[in-house]
Amino acid sequence: MASARWVNRKTSNAQRKRIGAILDRLAQEYPGKFEGLIFQSPFQLLIATILSAQCTDERVNSITPALFAKYRTPEDFAFAPLSELASDIRPTGYYNAKARNIQACCRVLIEEFGGVVPQTRQELMRLPGVGRKTANVILSQAFGEQAITVDTHVTRLANRLGFVETKDPLKIEEQLMEITPQERWNDIGRLFITHGRKVCTARKPHCERCVIATLCPSALVFVQPSPK
């Protein structure tokens, strides 16, 4: 009988090959720039990401042009009247809590980092309102670092594709990191999120037009494999 270690290694190798094939197909399907939060600086992305909690990127993008024209620096956000800031971000929902988080975040940014967004996960997570997911978004999108951002779309696809059996973001991140080459960690977020929005939706996955259906154990329709 094969040892458990040998079986696990064989399974991991198979998963590495499958996720590589999945990313290749998705990269061909979605070759353009990631359609996410719109920003002009790491600081703008930091604020936009805080606003995106329990809110769509589209809704955040609809208010940030006016918001960033009015509030240009961490000081502008930190020392604005709280009620005024809350009113300005009201369309994103949970605006009172988000306004408090933004002001607390900006004050720490000023006091501890000279108003400059730090470039390490550990330092980013010292900012109020910034968890591991937000830190990974900033590292990957603002600074070009390789990081896996686990949001609801990545959680859904990672489970449906059979790579994980958990909703725990940290466990999902760790398991995907184990089977994905580091130079493709950013592709997980960009491609899984895009595919989750367009095809593998939460309410009804559109397996009939999914380019990775033949690689997905959860596909709801039979897809004839392409002839060799």
Handedness of CA 199, 201, 205, 206 (dihedral sign): negative
pLDDT of residue 199: 96
- pTM value? 0.87
pLDDT of residue 1: 46
Catalytic site positions: 133, 151
pLDDT of residue 195: 97
Handedness of CA 100, 105, 110, 112 (dihedral sign): positive
Radius of gyration of the chain from Cα atoms? 20
Nearest alpha-carbon partner for 68 in 95, 39, 93? 39
pLDDT of residue 221: 59
pLDDT of residue 8: 60
For helices 169-179 and 152-160, what crossing angle results, to 10°? 60
Nearest alpha-carbon partner for 60 in 99, 80, 89? 89
**Mean pLDDT for each 10-residue chunk of the chain (228 residues)?**
50 91 97 89 97 94 98 98 98 97 98 97 95 96 96 96 96 96 96 96 94 93 50
Contact 103, 78 (CB under 8 A): yes
Domains of the chain: 9-33+149-215 (1.10.1670.10), 42-141 (1.10.340.30)
